[in-house]
Amino acid sequence: MIEFRSVRFSRRSPPGDPGRPVIEGLDLNLEKGLLHVLVGPSGCGKTTLLYLAAGLLSPDSGEVLVAGEPARPGRKDTAVVLQDHGLFPWKTVLANLELGLALRGLPRRERKERSLAALEETGLLGQEKKYPRALSGGERQRLAIARALVLSPDLLLLDEPFSSLDAITRESLQDRLLSLVGRERSLTTVMVTHDIAEAAFLADRIHVMNRLGKMTETESGRSGTCAIPRARRERAAGFRSAPEFFALCDGIREALR
pLDDT in tens, 158-178: 998 887 778 887 888 888 888
**Is the separation of the CB atoms in 92 and 130 below 8 Å?**
yes
Residue-wise pLDDT for 54-80, tens only, equals 998 888 889 999 988 998 888 888 988
Q: Which amino acid would we find at residue 162?
A: F
Q: For residue 167, give the H/E element and its range.
A: helix 167-182
Q: Are 97 and 119 a contacting pair, CB within 8 Å?
A: yes
Confidence of residue 188 (pLDDT cuts 50, 70, 90): very high
Q: What is the average pLDDT across 176-205?
A: 84
CA nearest neighbour of 65 among 34, 28, 33: 28
Burial call 180-207: b when 16+ CB within 10 Å, e when fewer = bbeeeeebbbbbbbebbbbbbbbbbbbb
The answer to whether the Cα torsion of 175, 54, 20, 164 is positive or negative is negative
Structural domains of the chain sorted by starting position, each given as residue range(s) with its CATH number in brackets: 2-77+154-256 (3.40.50.300), 86-152 (no CATH)
Residue 218 pLDDT > 60: no
Distance CA 183, CA 75 (A): 22
Give the residue among 140, 176, 187 at the shortest CA–CA distance from 33.
187
Looking at residue 65, what is its pLDDT? 93
pLDDT of residue 4: 92
Residue scoring higher pLDDT (192 or 85)? 192
The number of angstroms, rounded, from the C-alpha of 194 to the middle of its chain's C-alpha atoms is 12
Rounded Cα distance, 28 and 18, in Å: 25
Q: How far apart are CA 81 and CA 141, in angstroms?
A: 9
Cα separation, 204 vs 196, in Å, equals 14
Kindly tell me the burial class for residue 69, based on how many C-beta atoms sit within 10 Å of its own C-beta (0-12, 13-18, 19 or more): exposed
- pLDDT category at 234 given cuts 50, 70, 90 is low
Residues 84-140 have pLDDT tens digits of 667 888 999 999 888 888 888 888 888 888 898 888 888 888 888 999 889 888 888
pTM over 0.85: no
Beta strands in 67-122 (DSSP E): 69-70, 78-81
The sign of the CA dihedral 115, 119, 121, 125 is: negative
Please give the average per-residue pLDDT across 225-241, as a whole number: 67
